[in-house]
Structure 1
Amino acid sequence: MSVNDTVTVIPPGRPLHGQVSPPGSKSITNRALLLAALAKGTSRLGGVLKSDDTRHMSNALRQMGVTVEEPDDTTFVVTSSGRLQAPEGPLFLGNAGTAVRFLTAAVTTVDGSVTLDGDEYMRKRPIGPLVDALRAAGLEVSSATGCPPVQVKGSGTLAATRLEIDGGLSSQYVSALLMLAPCAAQPVEVALIGQDIGARGYVDLTLACMRAFGAQVTELDANTWRVAPTGYVASDYQVEPDASAATYLWAAEALSQGRIDLGVAADAFTQPDARAQGFIAQFPQMPAVINGSQMQDAIPTLAVLAAFNRTPVRFVDLANLRVKECDRVAALHDGLNAIRPGLATVEGDDLLVAADPALAGSHSDCSINTHADHRIAMCFALAGLKVSGVRIQDPLCVGKTYPGYWKALESLGVELQWVSA
């Protein structure tokens, strides 16, 4: 199949019932892969996600001398000397934001030169603030455009004692610096400039994963951590299911008034996107204002669900959604208005969804431009559960984080119509 293919979700006209196991967390899998690669010895990672993003991370680690075995569909076995080696060629990371940002910091420990690059979409995603933070710490890191490709010249050691970053720009920058810090020759303070951390919950995920691999981190205050120069210790680690993926299934359950068993309770997730379940549970009476800053990847799900709500919903603090795989604020606006003109408007970085329960059962001859963004494809498939005629472009882009998404819908009895270009 090609990027020009489409899939149409046929409204089932009945409640969806069944059992679906979400894939492992992409966010946690890529953190655990990197930390296992920085640890001397063998680590066994269970419950992992096998997708485009984690494939790019694992392949990059292999290029740097790390052995990454895959004995089954949900396991990585990582064996490392504890040091990343200079690769023979550039690291190609597709459009995997976690991989390119985490590795940009991590490869400063390499004795040699490393180039990190990605696809056409990645080359539009900002990384300048992280590059500047590393340069300010005396490291040789450069990016001609403020986006990948990034060039790093490492000396094999990290002499910095303080790393600073504006935490409001991206939690991935903060996580990248935190994961680098234990590799230093002496204690490092990681400090945030500014008042806010974008998606603070993801920083907490990073800290939990670091500690599982032996890091010693002390929180000095809300914006500063002291990290001991311990390096990392090989560990066996279990990755929890992906909360972002779970949001589509929770929303499908709510839209269809069905019952979908995920095998894990919403309150068992530690990922920040799980808080979206609290808003989904209120459907069709979702609140008038929803702040998206701390559950960014769940906003596409909630925005499409809001189209069927009884009252309008304003989504606020969405600035970081503009620098994801695509400008998701614009993509959500355009997709919702393709279903019905006037369904969404944008004011600054706020998205206003007009909401109309009468959309359910209607027909819309529309084609949703996914911009090769997995979350745009998956969230607008939800609209197809209630509105006939919704066609999703480039449906296989879901392979970035949830390769089994379409099969999961089919397992619930949802009919899909595929058209190959």
Structure 2
Amino acid sequence: MTDALTINPPSRPLRGQVTLPGSKSITNRALLLAALARGTSHLTGALKSDDTHHMAHALRTMGVIVEEPDPISFVVISDGVLRKPNAPLFLGNAGTAMRFLTAAAALVAGPVALTGNAAMQKRPIAPLVASLRSLGIVVEAPTGCPPVTVRGRGSFDGDTVTVDAESSSQYVSALLMLAAGGQRPVLVALEGDAIGARGYIDLTVTAMRRFGAQVERQGATAWMVQPGGYRAADLHVEPDASAATYLWAAEALTNGAIDIGSAADAFTQPDALAYDLIRRFPHMPAEIDGSQMQDAVPTLAVLAAFNATPVRFVRVSNLRVKECDRLRAMATELSRLSPNLAIEEVDDLVVTPVSPECFRPARIETYADHRIAMSMALAGLRVPGIAILDPACVNKTYPGYWRDLTSLGLALESELSHMR
């Protein structure tokens, strides 16, 4: 087992072509919608990673046939009914799977328990639980985090639900996908106007419509979903925009030329908004609002360490409830390279660049968080002696990350447990 990967700064610009993995966000939405649809659905260009494997396995345990004919495809065969599993659904630290399946479990006739690893059991789910209860669904989550038990009745009768989506847009997406399985039209509305990464709700609505649902926006903060469920469909999953940010940043840091096969404006995922900021490196703006491209913030924070001027990241408090507290993690790990390189100021992250001679080698803790590993690896493109601990955590969303960097000309040195 590889315990660490040390990155040797390249002696030349990184150049080449990389085939990005499919979007995790779209793949997990499509898997669930296909499982709720009657018929056979084909998903191509899909992501195969820890997160999507957790979703696929959970659906199989609820009676859905999920086949994997090749490394980038799923075939989902369903009668549109999810059945009571014989054991709790274990979802690792897959946030989309946990939130989406907690809502979908209301459509199961019988109790469904959902749990995850230790990190998942610290991730909040109380706002979603409260919204489900308002629809008359019996849900138990004693700690406000997983494990969760949903005592479904096969459908539900509620017609209006509000949700506090300030900490996660996934709550809204979960309720929207559930709503099409109701007995009557359902209005899904926000409490207030604060919402994390609104673009992901647009992804959800687009996917729902592809699978036959009728959903219409009602002003800026509500959606009306008609009953009737879903019908099978074929869907090609676009490449993962969050993954693209690492390659865009690697290109910027090395003055390279990396072909990822998609133009930035071809992505529908919100993290693609980071491209315009990365393109401005080393003159990124003094303040960056990360609220609508949350998974790109760690990438941008590493770039900021080499920017010409300091960068403050604002409206990023939601990063505290991801796979780890990413604000604290990025401040801590960047500051291993140079003291106070990055600091937390309440819920802002402030990165103040230093001259190259102030950087030092560092062993980077990753907190079992794929985004910390992948973003902090970018620092190794400029700073000698950067070692990424637990590099296999990238399997959550981008299993081929290290292979792809190597293919571009980056040299990595493995540290194995038996060598210590």
Residue 363 of structure 1, CA deviation: 5.5
Instruction: Tell me the residue number matched to 1:76.
Output: 74
The structure 2 residue matched to 1:396, chosen from 386, 392, 398, is 392
User: Does the CA-based 8 Å contact 1:363-1:389 persist in structure 2?
Assistant: no
CA distance in 2, matches of 1:339, 1:59: 40
Helix, strand or coil at the partner of 2:360: strand
CA distance in 2, matches of 1:364, 1:245: 27
CA pair 202-384 structure 1, distance change in 2 beyond 3 A? same
CA distance in 2, matches of 1:380, 1:8: 11
The structure 2 residue matched to 1:420, chosen from 412, 416, 419, is 416
Residue 107 of structure 1, CA deviation: 0.7
| Residue correspondence of structure 1 range 128-167 to structure 2 within 5 A | 128-167=126-165
CA distance in 2, matches of 1:337, 1:264: 34
When structure 1 is superposed on structure 2, of 154-163 and 278-287 the one drifting more is 154-163
CA distance in 2, matches of 1:94, 1:392: 22
| Residue correspondence of structure 1 range 15-26 to structure 2 within 5 A | 15-26=13-24
Residue 242 of structure 1, CA deviation: 0.1
Q: Over the residues paired in the alignment, what is the CA RMSD in angstroms?
A: 0.9
User: Does the CA-based 8 Å contact 1:362-1:388 persist in structure 2?
Assistant: no
Helix, strand or coil at the partner of 2:207: helix
Instruction: Tell me the residue number matched to 1:385.
Output: 381
**2:342 is the counterpart of 1:344:** yes
Residue 168 of structure 1, CA deviation: 1.5
CA distance in 2, matches of 1:20, 1:219: 37
Helix, strand or coil at the partner of 2:244: helix
Instruction: Tell me the residue number matched to 2:188.
Output: 190
Instruction: Tell me the residue number matched to 2:239.
Output: 241
Tell me which amino acid in the other structure corresponds to 2:33.
L
CA distance in 2, matches of 1:260, 1:129: 41
Which consecutive unaligned segments of at least 5 residues does structure 1 have?
A: none
Instruction: Tell me the residue number matched to 1:175.
Output: 173
Structure 1 length normalisation: TM-score? 0.98
Instruction: Tell me the residue number matched to 2:299.
Output: 301
User: Does the CA-based 8 Å contact 1:346-1:352 persist in structure 2?
Assistant: yes
- Find runs of 4+ consecutive structure 1 residues off by over 3 angstroms: none
CA distance in 1, matches of 2:176, 2:353: 41
Which consecutive unaligned segments of at least 5 residues does structure 2 have?
A: none
Instruction: Tell me the residue number matched to 2:29.
Output: 31
Tell me which amino acid in the other structure corresponds to 1:273.
D
Tell me which amino acid in the other structure corresponds to 1:265.
A
User: Does the CA-based 8 Å contact 1:200-1:294 persist in structure 2?
Assistant: yes
Residue 157 of structure 1, CA deviation: 1.6
Instruction: Tell me the residue number matched to 1:333.
Output: 331
User: Does the CA-based 8 Å contact 2:290-2:314 persist in structure 1?
Assistant: yes
Instruction: Tell me the residue number matched to 1:372.
Output: 368
Helix, strand or coil at the partner of 1:275: helix
Helix, strand or coil at the partner of 1:364: coil
Tell me which amino acid in the other structure corresponds to 1:371.
Y
Helix, strand or coil at the partner of 1:175: helix
Residue 194 of structure 1, CA deviation: 1.1
How many equivalent residue pairs? 417
Instruction: Tell me the residue number matched to 1:97.
Output: 95
User: Does the CA-based 8 Å contact 2:119-2:324 persist in structure 1?
Assistant: yes
Residue 355 of structure 1, CA deviation: 1.5
